């Protein structure tokens, strides 16, 4: 039996001079006492002495292993292969020896003084990996501020002008929305009050932002046929909020700059700004996240004694293509499998048609007329 030739091993390498990752072939056995890295140009070879290899600590994502050299050398090697990472742990006695254990403030000071490439590694590679964890760790005030900052950006970008799109508000309309939220809230479990924003825009859409913000478009208020239908849509958005879907989406979309801003405590400042609007408006969550938000909505509606079959009315109209003319694809209309959702909404209805309406007809009229 011949020894099978081992599979080639690869990692991502940043040389410390340029802010880019290169796919390198890793040869652990080519030279005794060294890890040999073959660069993609086919010629350059770098030897890293095993005794100088260090694991870069404080990684958010434990599915990858980031290696550097002892001292302040800025080069980094990222290894996603568990077997190789385990092997390196064996080969390198000093791998986990920490040369520093900085707190977050100190780390940022080091960061600002470090070589450009080290900063780039953190920004382009490590920080995005932290977005999901961060979404779960954000304090509720942080989520709230993040939601406010992103809302302002969305409003500005939808308006196309300097001032942004108009917000609608009226005492009667605002009170009616609060009445719907108050009816649903006892059956939810998130730590903040819902804050509604009505945008004077004809898109038939609604979406949630981090920290309990729900954005409704005037086009949706004009399209829905009953306050219970609207309550169903609000309950669905509450599901996204409780599951922290908007926070994850925002942090992923904001990318490194946004996440760094959060690490710096800059929840509402200028750093959390990039490329957010369209992605958040469309709110393309996974099918699983949408189904979970639907189930959540049905439970909340059942708790509140409201008919989930009214939500089915909305899905039916979406299927019929009656989606308005918003010009932007909307979160609600891009939901998959509307037919199945109609059936599920009807099946989940526990009221048997007997329920106390969520709004009086006068309240409903005031709400629908909230944008003049």
Q: Which residues bind Zn ion (CB under 5 A)?
A: 290, 293
Report the 10 Å Cβ neighbour count for 45.
14
**Closer Cβ to Zn ion, 148 or 290, answer by number:** 290
**Closer Cβ to Zn ion, 58 or 337, answer by number:** 337
* Nearest to 13, CA basis, from 33, 32, 40: 40
Question: Residue 285 Cβ, how far from Zn ion at the closest point, in Å?
Answer: 6
Q: What is the DSSP letter of 123?
A: I
Bridge partners of 37, per DSSP, are 26, 46
Question: Residue 220 Cβ, how far from Zn ion at the closest point, in Å?
Answer: 13
Residues 344-365 as b/e (b if ≥16 CB within 10 A, e otherwise) read bbbebbebeeebeebbeeebbe
**Closer Cβ to Zn ion, 65 or 332, answer by number:** 332
- Rounded distance between C-alpha atoms, residue 350 and residue 300, angstroms: 11
Residues 30-41 as b/e (b if ≥16 CB within 10 A, e otherwise) read eeeebbbbbeee
Question: Residue 208 Cβ, how far from Zn ion at the closest point, in Å?
Answer: 8
Question: Residue 335 Cβ, how far from Zn ion at the closest point, in Å?
Answer: 6
Question: Residue 139 Cβ, how far from Zn ion at the closest point, in Å?
Answer: 24
**Closer Cβ to Zn ion, 165 or 293, answer by number:** 293
**Closer Cβ to Zn ion, 199 or 293, answer by number:** 293
The encoded tokens of residue 84 equal: 């190789």
The encoded tokens of residue 42 equal: 């086919």
Question: Residue 191 Cβ, how far from Zn ion at the closest point, in Å?
Answer: 21
**Closer Cβ to Zn ion, 75 or 206, answer by number:** 206
Q: Which SS3 state, helix, strand or coil, does residue 208 take?
A: strand
**Closer Cβ to Zn ion, 24 or 221, answer by number:** 221
Strand ranges inside the chain, DSSP E:
9-14, 22-31, 34-38, 45-49, 53-55, 65-69, 76-79, 167-168, 195-199, 206-209, 213-217
Question: Residue 183 Cβ, how far from Zn ion at the closest point, in Å?
Answer: 20
- Rounded distance between C-alpha atoms, residue 270 and residue 3, angstroms: 58
**Closer Cβ to Zn ion, 290 or 363, answer by number:** 290
**Closer Cβ to Zn ion, 14 or 206, answer by number:** 206
Question: Residue 279 Cβ, how far from Zn ion at the closest point, in Å?
Answer: 14
Do 215 and 154 form a contact (C-beta atoms < 8 A)?
Answer: yes
Tokens 């940043």 sit on residue:
14
- Rounded distance between C-alpha atoms, residue 305 and residue 350, angstroms: 8
Question: Residue 241 Cβ, how far from Zn ion at the closest point, in Å?
Answer: 11
Order of strands across the sheet that contains 76-79: 45-49, 34-38, 22-31, 9-14, 76-79, 65-69, 53-55
Question: Residue 240 Cβ, how far from Zn ion at the closest point, in Å?
Answer: 6
Cα angle vertex 193, ends 188, 198, to 5°? Answer: 110
**Closer Cβ to Zn ion, 70 or 337, answer by number:** 337
């Amino acid at each position: 039996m011949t020894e099978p030739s081992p599979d080639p091993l690869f990692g991502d390498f940043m040389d410390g001079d340029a802010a880019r990752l290169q796919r390198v072939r890793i040869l652990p056995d080519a030279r005794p006492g060294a890890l040999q890295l073959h660069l993609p140009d086919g010629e350059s070879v770098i030897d890293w002495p095993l005794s100088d290899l260090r694991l870069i600590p404080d990684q958010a994502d434990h599915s990858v292993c980031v290696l550097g050299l002892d001292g302040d050398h800025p080069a980094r090697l990222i290894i996603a292969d568990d077997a190789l990472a385990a092997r390196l742990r064996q080969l390198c006695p000093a791998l986990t020896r920490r040369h520093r254990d900085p707190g977050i403030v100190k780390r940022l000071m080091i960061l600002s003084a470090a070589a450009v490439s080290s900063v780039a590694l953190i920004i382009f590679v490590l920080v995005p990996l932290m977005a999901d964890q961060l979404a779960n760790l954000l304090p509720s005030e942080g989520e709230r501020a993040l939601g406010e900052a992103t809302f302002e950006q969305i409003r500005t970008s939808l308006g196309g002008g300097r001032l942004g799109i108009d917000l609608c508000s009226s005492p009667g309309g605002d009170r009616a929305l609060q009445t719907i939220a108050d009816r649903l809230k006892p059956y939810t479990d998130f730590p903040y009050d819902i804050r509604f924003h009505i945008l004077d825009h004809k898109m038939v859409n609604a979406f949630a932002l981090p920290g309990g913000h729900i954005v409704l478009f005037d086009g949706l208020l004009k399209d829905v046929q009953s306050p219970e239908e609207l309550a169903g849509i609000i309950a669905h958005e509450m599901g996204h909020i409780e599951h922290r879907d908007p926070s994850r989406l925002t942090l992923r979309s904001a990318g490194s700059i946004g996440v760094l801003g959060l690490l710096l405590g800059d929840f509402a400042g200028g750093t959390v700004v990039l490329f957010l609007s369209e992605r958040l408006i469309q709110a393309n969550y996974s099918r699983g996240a949408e189904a979970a938000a639907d189930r959540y909505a049905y439970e909340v509606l059942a708790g509140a004694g409201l008919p989930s079959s009214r939500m089915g009315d909305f899905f039916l109209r979406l299927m019929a293509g009656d989606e308005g003319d918003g010009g932007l694809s909307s979160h609600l209309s891009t939901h998959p499998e509307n037919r199945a959702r109609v059936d599920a909404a009807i099946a989940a209805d526990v009221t048997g048609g007997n329920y106390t309406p969520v709004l009086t007809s006068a309240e409903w009229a005031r709400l629908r007329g909230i944008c003049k």
